[in-house]
Chains A and B, each alone.
Chain A
């Protein structure tokens, strides 16, 4: 089945630094990648939708200059948290759908998630 590889799984960084999270679709092409954030004991919150070759679409309340998304190829999307602060500490998860074999009736595949801790 479709696999989305996400790295790193855990990262601890100092306040004010930037962190890059990568998501790769290993055996399919992902035209669209979704980035979610999940705080403890809360549900997934969609942050942005990343489309290959174009600018990402951000959800209301998500700062596009703080959460930089790049989707330069059909198999790779990155999320960079710039000038991270402790309130950015969260679980970040990407997901994608196999565009060429899937329809809207196919579930999305999630990456394994990145636990970001900003100290």
Chain B
């Protein structure tokens, strides 16, 4: 079983809709969780981090964490074409190196 899993997509949503990106992880010792956005040909950039169960909001982005279900998600409200990118879920396991998921490709259609 892979440590961090994501649907590869592509996930297509119309402009203005809510995009929902999901991530599951296998290690219950995971401590912190991150969402990165990666545009084609560019390096990843951090957009959200979450450490505690529940929701965390930052502008149009909301991260949701459920440690019991080993599940973390990212919601993007009012999706824009500029949000089209690959979204990487990263999990910090035992306070060591990050483990990245394979990424979900999001396409926001104008």
Contacts and interface: CB of A to CB of B under 8 A. Distances in A.
B98 A108 contact: yes
B95 A107 contact: no
A91 to B, nearest CB: 8
Interface residues of B, number: 22
Interface string A88-119: 00010100000000001111111111010000
A43 interface: yes
B97 interface: yes
The 7 closest A-B pairs by CB, nearest first: A107-B46, A113-B43, A104-B95, A110-B43, A43-B102, A105-B32, A44-B100
The DSSP consensus for interface residues of chain B is strand
Interface string B38-57: 00011111100101000000
Interface of A: 6, 34, 42-44, 46, 49, 91, 93, 104-113, 115
Given A105-B32, A105-B51, A107-B34, A46 B42 contact: no
Interface in B26-74: 31-32, 34, 36, 41-46, 49, 51
Contacts of B36: 107
A112 B34 contact: no
Contacts of B43: 6, 93, 110-113
